[in-house]
Amino acid sequence: MGQTVFIPRELDANEPRVAASPDTVKRLAGLGLDVVVESGAGTASRIPDEEFAKAGAAIGKAGDVARADVVLKVRRPTDAELKGYKSGAAVIAIMDPYGNDVAVAALARAGVTAFSMEFMPRITRAQSMDVLSSQANLAGYQAVIDAAAEYDRALPMMMTAAGTVPAAKAFIMGVGVAGLQAIATARRLGAVVTATDVRPAVKEQVQSLGAKFLAVEDEEFKAAETAGGYAKEMSKEYQAKQAALTAEHIAKQDIVITTALIPGRPAPKLVSAAMVASMKPGSVIVDLAVERGGNVEGAVPGKVVTTANGVKIVGHLNVPGRVAASASLLYARNLFAFLETLVDKTTKQLSIKRDDELVKATMLTDGGKVVHPAFAKATVEPPKGQHVEPAAIPATTMVADASVKKTAPKKTADKRSATGKSAAQKSAGKPKGIA
């Protein structure tokens, strides 16, 4: 009898995704593993229990996790869930450890070997395991769909006998994985698309998708990217020039989508209240970074806010989960690709090679300890009854407020468009960052 992989139903009411698909269940069985799927785990992703059963999984209950050697999840397990896990079990999920030291310490105390999929290194052999990219891709797509749903006009230009309907103007801020997909989707729907980013290398990618690139292209801009594909901190003079250009451009747009997110930090502010106030009534802004504080001043997590001047600011949470059926299929393949590297093909047993670069990059806890160097402080117990969060890393403004002239603090921290990788990043071996 092989080792057991358990796929639970996600307890978070706002999480419709599931960590397996009929295809990955079949592949896991092919590795010699016994697969148990909790009843109802795939319902919100349009995968009924019968489909999992046909693929070779046993349909079980939540308590079956007690005998699992591997647990595949979407979100980090709660304290209540961890109480049922077997010590030494491998738990693979999107752990979201930044700012959650107490939860990381709980994983260590439970004795599980926890892997955080969002830390997967961006190297060639790990491309199929990159959950940030697979989920950001769908987030970029869904952002445009959500914008179109809130926008009370047609997106493409329509020439009719009764007259011409002008095409909507869409502006994408941040050209990573999500930004590129947003550009492509908006273009398919017929919008006139422009995009901006502080990395020169993405200009060609933007233009290849039929959009116009917007930036102050001076000498500083040409040297604004590191060898690893990250954006350099721009001078206050450049920020002022870029802010003026952006502010003038936003006032003319119908749809704005922001995608800038930096792991472990509050989201950088891209759109000020003054910029929002300059937009036309009926315009729509979609903030994909709202869960980390937002790129847009006035964005509220989980809500669609209508401003005094009639602009809608969309702050949906878990945007990939809004297309759960597709997101789950991609995420499940990411997990399988990683788990496959942890299974010995001869013995059909879990065999974690702790010196492997993928393991070292993603392993969060092991043997009752927090082993990831970035979270070593999570082993420190908080005061009794008190949840202590680490101090937040200050956010920086990627696009300054053109209406307020302030001296920007001089910092050297790298920044990048949140949801993505650049061409230079790919050529440099895709260093770890944001999807």
**295 located within any domain:** yes
pTM of the model: 0.84
Please tell me which residue, 210 or 428, carries the higher pLDDT value: 210
When computed from its CA atoms, the radius of gyration of the chain, rounded to whole angstroms, is 23
One domain, residues 297 and 369:
no
**27 located within any domain:** yes
**232 located within any domain:** yes
One domain, residues 200 and 263:
yes
User: What's the pLDDT band for 234 if we cut at 50, 70, 90?
Assistant: low
**385 located within any domain:** no
pLDDT value at residue 231: 53
Please determine, for residue 238, whether its predicted confidence score (pLDDT) is greater than 60: yes
User: What positions carry a catalytic annotation?
Assistant: 122, 127, 130, 133, 230
One domain, residues 177 and 294:
yes
One domain, residues 101 and 126:
yes
- Kindly report the CA angle at 185 between 180 and 191, in degrees rounded to 5? 110
Dump the DSSP string for 11-61.
--TT----S--HHHHHHHHHTT-EEEEETTTTGGGT--HHHHHHTTPEEE-
**435 located within any domain:** no
pLDDT > 70 fraction of the chain, expressed in percent and rounded: 82
Beta-carbon contacts of 248 under 8 Å, excluding residues fewer than 6 positions away, are: 402
pLDDT > 90 fraction of the chain, expressed in percent and rounded: 73
**Distance (Å, whole) CA 419 – CA 262:** 8
**387 located within any domain:** no
One domain, residues 112 and 195:
no
Please determine, for residue 8, whether its predicted confidence score (pLDDT) is greater than 80: yes
Write down the H helix ranges in 46-176: 49-54, 79-82, 101-109, 131-150
pLDDT value at residue 282: 97
**Distance (Å, whole) CA 268 – CA 287:** 11
Please determine, for residue 222, whether its predicted confidence score (pLDDT) is greater than 70: no
Mean pLDDT within 248-265? 90
- Kindly report the CA angle at 309 between 303 and 311, in degrees rounded to 5? 40
Please determine, for residue 220, whether its predicted confidence score (pLDDT) is greater than 90: no
Number of domains in the chain: 2
pLDDT value at residue 221: 67
* Spatial contact of 282 and 269, defined as CB atoms under 8 Å apart: no
Q: How far is CA 390 from CA 99, 113, 332, 433, in A?
A: 6, 23, 32, 21
User: What's the pLDDT band for 325 if we cut at 50, 70, 90?
Assistant: very high
Mean pLDDT within 238-261? 90
Tally of residues, the chain? 435
pLDDT value at residue 232: 54
One domain, residues 251 and 226:
yes
Please determine, for residue 389, whether its predicted confidence score (pLDDT) is greater than 80: no
Please determine, for residue 217, whether its predicted confidence score (pLDDT) is greater than 80: no
The bridge status of strand 90-94 relative to strand 284-287 is unpaired
**172 located within any domain:** yes
**Distance (Å, whole) CA 138 – CA 82:** 30
Q: Which CATH number does the domain housing residue 65 bear?
A: 3.40.50.720
pLDDT value at residue 224: 57
**Which residues is 196 bridged to in the sheet?**
173
Q: How far is CA 1 from CA 4, 32, 270, 343, in A?
A: 9, 9, 55, 15
Mean pLDDT within 50-57? 98
One domain, residues 38 and 145:
no
Mean pLDDT within 345-363? 95
Range of the domain at 218: 139-321+396-427
- Among 85-94, 259-268, 345-354, 359-368, whose mean pLDDT is lowest? 259-268
* Spatial contact of 20 and 332, defined as CB atoms under 8 Å apart: yes
Please tell me which residue, 111 or 394, carries the higher pLDDT value: 111
Mean pLDDT within 109-121? 96
Please determine, for residue 358, whether its predicted confidence score (pLDDT) is greater than 90: yes
One domain, residues 158 and 230:
yes
One domain, residues 62 and 30:
yes
How far is C-alpha 193 from the chain's CA centre? 22
One domain, residues 283 and 412:
yes
Please tell me which residue, 245 or 116, carries the higher pLDDT value: 116
pLDDT value at residue 378: 65
Please determine, for residue 79, whether its predicted confidence score (pLDDT) is greater than 60: yes
Please tell me which residue, 413 or 233, carries the higher pLDDT value: 233
- Report pLDDT digits (tens) over 134-158: 999 999 999 999 999 999 999 999 9
C-alpha closest to that of 316 among 340, 299, 339, 333: 299
One domain, residues 76 and 91:
yes
pLDDT value at residue 200: 82
**Distance (Å, whole) CA 41 – CA 43:** 6
One domain, residues 229 and 303:
yes
Mean pLDDT within 147-176? 95
**Distance (Å, whole) CA 202 – CA 220:** 16
Please determine, for residue 366, whether its predicted confidence score (pLDDT) is greater than 80: yes
Element (DSSP H or E) covering residue 239: helix 236-250
